[in-house]
Structure 1
Amino acid sequence: MHEFTYVNLSYKVTASAIYRNISVLLHYLNFVMAKWGEGDPRWIVEERADATNVNNWHWTERDVSSWSQDVINNLLLGIRVEGEEGSCEITDVSNIDGEASINNRKGKLIFFYEWIVKASWTGTNKIGIKYKGTVEIPNLSDENDMDDLDICVTLCKDQPSTPLTNLMRREGVNKIRLALGNYVKHLKTEFSQGMILPTDNALNKQNQEPQAKVKLDKTQTESSSTGDYSNTGVKIPTVSFSLKDTFLTSPEELYRVFLNQGMVQAFTHLAALVEGCSGGKFRLLEGNVHGQFAELIPDQKIVMRWRFSSWPAGHAATVILNFVNRGSETELILEARGVPSNEEERMKEGWQRYYFDAIKQTFGYGARLC
């Protein structure tokens, strides 16, 4: 008679860890099948333009854990809601535990992320009494839709009961869910770039297209090169305009939004380059907007040389942002000079939609409700 001993073993295994182990196995199988199945088009691997022998076929992985922690922190910190009960704001993100990665398999991108997030919030009622609480998000992962996300809002144990808890559970949770949804969108745009690389044929085609575009742009510039020139080197009629908007945050925080690369990427939902210093360059919205910071007065003023990529080569508008303290709010006054006259409405709409409205929606800086 045989005797058996049963041992109960418990392991904590994340989805990303499982897929990392699978990736090792897939690398080995790809090698074996490429040799065993020579002549089979499903397994022959073509030399790629960067000289690596993958052709978008083998499993490749990119770790985006550190970037994810920074973005989640920036998106959650400062979320603010107001109501009849008073106001609530996330004041600290104490823990972001987990991992995230992007994987390419046979030219298809697979996103993995698993996070446990803990934050603190502070509420202030109408007579100025402050309360403190916590927010816990135990299941931010690729396996759960944003609507299925568990967001637990509680008061600290030493705090008396307050209607502000319901305000945070009602309005705060919605903003938290929106912010984390932006993280996922951003994850799938910025770090997916470069994961699928072209073959030699595709790369040659891409190289030919920019050359053709350069020739076209040069012809267009030469054809309009008569008459007097402005200091930008391009003769075009220009206009000036101004915009104003109010943000429910301090000048210091709003100023930082325009110069912090992570925050710019958060409200544009796309990869961006932002060198937040005087003379630093910026490029955002997939390169459709780019320029340079000409002057910076901390928390008060930003002067930019700003242009759409479709504008005539060498021409840029001057955009001045003035941050005016209005107590609990900041009035942002934009002055734009040297704007091509046929681009005025497009630029106004772009600044309102892709800067002002997007910043309010992403960071919760919407105007105070009456």
Structure 2
Amino acid sequence: MAKWGEGDPRWIVEERPDATNVNNWHWTEKNATPWSKDRLAQLFKGLKIEKDGIECIVDNVDDCTGEATVNNRKGKLIFFYEWKLVLKWTGKLLNNSNLEHKGKISIPNLSEENDLDDIEITITIDESNDESENLKQFMYNIGRDVVRKQIALYIKELKEEYSKNLILPKKGEENTVVSPKIKQAGSSIAAEANLSNSANTVKASDKSGNNVGCKLDVRTLRMAVEFNCSANDLYNALTKEDMLTAFTRAPVKVMPTRGGEFVLYGGNVLGKFEELVPEKKIQQTWRLKNWPSGHYSQVVIDLEETKNNTQLKLTQTGIPASEYDAMTTNWHRYYWESMKQTFGFGLSISGLW
């Protein structure tokens, strides 16, 4: 069996001797991770927050885990960043004991999927007492707004720095300045989005005042399939390493636990299990390797066993609109038909719902 996506000309970027990306049509990508780590450290180290006799200073960035990339597709820039930050801070009451108290600022979800006001910022104190709790409350009420302003500055500078020279002039425009269109990656996808002929759109905005003004088109796929087997057999076929290996005809990596990763079809399909209910439900973050860096769809598979068969309902949200038709075909070809042939489940009825 061919690997998922193998042979589909839309997934192949033709190599040219002059390395030209004609009319900026293909994906080009810049790694912004090293720059981002340095800039985040600079923006937060030594940051002073002072008001009404209280002084707090961010000592350093204790943890900076994640990545950032910038992509050009069809002359549009798409920014992906996902960071987990932990900042150490020291504070004191200037008009009181002047004793220093230490704490942490945790930012677990700094990403393009969250608006600036939705980014979670948690304030903690190392040792609790009357003074330290006053400082903690000050950092919660005042300090978080200052931290958000620094985050907004990082996002603004990321876009400015990596908009340079990523969009190449088209043929005949070699001596002109190309103004890139900036396209922000989509925010969260509604799990119950309706399937229609028109694509769902996810608007991206920057609440720091810079409206990026572009959209990422995504689609939602719903599919219902009946198998002549038990719900337990079907659940195992989708989660057990030996059964996945059998019907994909390729080595697999799978950890069927919440948060466990899976890699299928030679690395072309990958993601994580978000929820597992034996014989009932499988929820995954799911992507194809060739999708834009950092973009995942959400896959929910519901199983319902009846007297004669088991019905599987699949809902996949966040599919790039250009990939929708191929996704419909490939679920049937590489999953349902292959499982029927391998295990003899006998596919009775299938279709969209």
TM range (shorter): 0.3 to 0.5
Higher helix content, 1 or 2:
1
Q: TM-score, normalised by structure 2?
A: 0.44
Task: Determine which structure has more spread, i.e. the larger CA radius of gyration.
Answer: 1
Higher strand content, 1 or 2:
2
